[in-house]
Amino acid sequence: MRNKEKDRKTSYEREARRIADKICARCGVASVVEGCRQCEGCNKKHNDSSDKSRRNKLGNGICEYCPEPSNGGRLCASCRAKKKASDGAIYETKKMQGICLLCTMPALAGLTLCGKHNAHRTTKNHERRMRLAEQGLCLHCGKNEPVASRKNCEICMLKALARHLWNDRNRWRDLLNLFGNGQMPIHGASFVYWIECRTRPHCPQE
């Protein structure tokens, strides 16, 4: 009978040698893509296989990480909680070490991504904002119509203000209730001015 622990150790050692030699950890033949452990061909195969599996599970209402029902989302409640805790720990560790959040390359000064991934994210964000602007939707959430003469919807603006006032964007409903009580109109220029006067230091804080 094969020793699974010994096989696993051998596999890890083989991958480590290949990575040190900048050879694909999967096929052991081609050179790795910068910031990755695999070559371009193996990366594509892995991504295609993962996408197919993800689509099948999503279509059947199954969690991406386990066989439990996802209840309309991508993950079940248990896996969602575990992923949130794990992602938080990885984020803090990589940020402290100055490593890109999406690969193993050094992050740009003052940022959490390397040059390659920062450029890619900037391009994707610009394309998304242009598409949403053409559709007449909020540039942040992409769901609601923006406030007149502004680029974001009322809810997103309230969330930004709540984060500025209390460092808690989830308290945006407190502001909505305040406006609902007639103390401040929710629409129009007065709403925009009220928000701007509380996010700019030189404006009066009345």
Provide the residue ranges of all domains of the chain, joining segments of one domain with +.
40-95, 98-135, 140-206
Q: What is the pLDDT of residues 100-145, one digit of tens each?
A: 998 888 999 999 999 999 999 999 999 999 999 999 999 999 999 9
3-state secondary structure 47-114: HHHHHHHHHHHHHCCECCCCCCECCCCCCCHHHHHHHHHHHHHHHHHHHHHCECCCCCCECCCCCCCC
Distance of alpha carbon 92 from alpha carbon 114, whole angstroms: 16
Distance of alpha carbon 45 from alpha carbon 36, whole angstroms: 14
Q: What is the pLDDT of residues 27-55, one digit of tens each?
A: 888 888 777 788 888 888 888 888 888 88
120 HSE (CA, 13 A, CB side): 7
Read off the pLDDT of each residue in 58-66 and give the average, rounded to a whole number: 87
Question: In this predicted model, which residue has the larger pLDDT, 58 or 131?
Answer: 131
Q: Is 167 within 8 Å of 161 (Cβ atoms)?
A: no
Which residues make beta-bridge pairs with 62?
69
Please provide residue 23's backbone torsions phi and psi, each rounded to the nearest 5 degrees. -110, 145
Q: Is 94 within 8 Å of 83 (Cβ atoms)?
A: no
Read off the pLDDT of each residue in 161-180 and give the average, rounded to a whole number: 78
Structure confidence at residue 72 as a pLDDT band (50, 70, 90): confident
Rg (CA), the chain: 24
Q: Is the pLDDT of residue 146 over 80?
A: yes
Read off the pLDDT of each residue in 161-190 and give the average, rounded to a whole number: 70
* Residue 27 CA to its chain's centroid (Å): 30
